Chains A and B, each alone.
Chain A
Amino acid sequence: MSAREKILASLRQSLEGTQPLADPFDASLVDKPWRYCPAERVTRLKELMTAVHSEVHLTRSAEWPQLLHELLTQRQINRLLTAPSTTHGQAFSAYCQIQDSSLKLLAYDRPIEEWKRELFDDVPASFTGTLAGIAATGTLVVQPSPAEPRLMSLVPPLHIALLKASQIYDNLYQAQQAWPRPMPSNLLLISGPSKTADIEQVLAYGAHGPKDLIVLLVEDA
């Protein structure tokens, strides 16, 4: 008998004569305690994300490209990984052209195997969109895609994410209702830059992922 058959047979034997218990899920317990009005959603998300070392900038659709450019200049970052096929990627690239910026925009346009060394060593920052935000926990929902692959929000030391205020849900339960089905190959909740408290519970940021996370929160979108 295979391990599979053995395990399933043993479990079935133990359940003989019993009925499955009814689904006990009660949405009100995970939804009601975590509801906010639209203005509160923005302030709560900002407050919680700032508390875990993220920078949240409130901005507007017409202004964020300039803000992003300024933030990068302040940090003396001259290379940015963007997704040229996305609307936000195009908007920023257009802004850089008009400004005749010296910032070099890199694209994740080939399989990781072909440029792993460069991604690990020579990409100081990345800029991605987000699927949604969650006010209750101060969280970004990020869905990696062919345009913005999984490692884009993980390997570069600085991750900048664009979030529309209208996409902020009250809580995880509500956000989950809007997720694509079937589930995408990878879906991420990101609530700050990477961190650890494994030594003496002293909090240190930049454990294995980004050391910094900047959220551009677009209030009129």
Chain B
Amino acid sequence: MAKYAIEVKDVSMKFNLSKEKVDSLKEYFIKFLKRQIKYNEFWALKHISFNVEKGDRVGVLGLNGAGKSTLLKVIAGVFKPTEGQVVRHGKIVPLLELGAGFDSQYTGRENIYLYSSVLGYSRSFVDSRFDDIVKFSELEEFIDVPIKNYSSGMKSRLGFSIATQVNPDILILDEVLSVGDAKFKKKSEAKIMGMFDSGVTVLFVSHSLAQVKRLCNKAIILEKVILWLPVT
């Protein structure tokens, strides 16, 4: 078994911020002929390398726009890095954008199946966990209502309940500990803490130093380069 859960090897991520968006064929041809296609290159991440050991709980700190979310999305596999590569050992559960893939015309019940399939669960697994999901989200009454009629808190409760059904090896959190009302918040924190105790590797983005101190045993600051911080 590998010692590391995540190996980030010299990862760079470039975005094209074109001044005017060229997305019509006519514009493209005219600009191409005039040789005017230019992009403002923007490197959100530049030569980032670090390793996360198995069982580490790493807090990721940094200013707005430092590339924290981009880094997590690269690790989760949503973005493919422009350069470098990420090696992951084990099953990743990214709690990044809860409910990505919900369809607003679908009912809660239908969305449980849809979102589960997006997360790569199998059908039999969802069947067996369906009642747990509904119970944890406390949406029994509304499960057959189209979720366009849900409040945003209800949606994230449902998303959280579905996403936390598996026991991951690597958990990626982007400030999702604040889901729903006070009561649900407590419950969701307890659930995540339960996962922490079972020894998963955690990557945790937060702006709250206190939270990072409480939850993590290591921390990095992302600011052009990676800085490891001692957590005490």
Q: Do A and B come from one complex?
A: no
Interfacial residues, chain A to chain B (CB-CB below 8 A): none
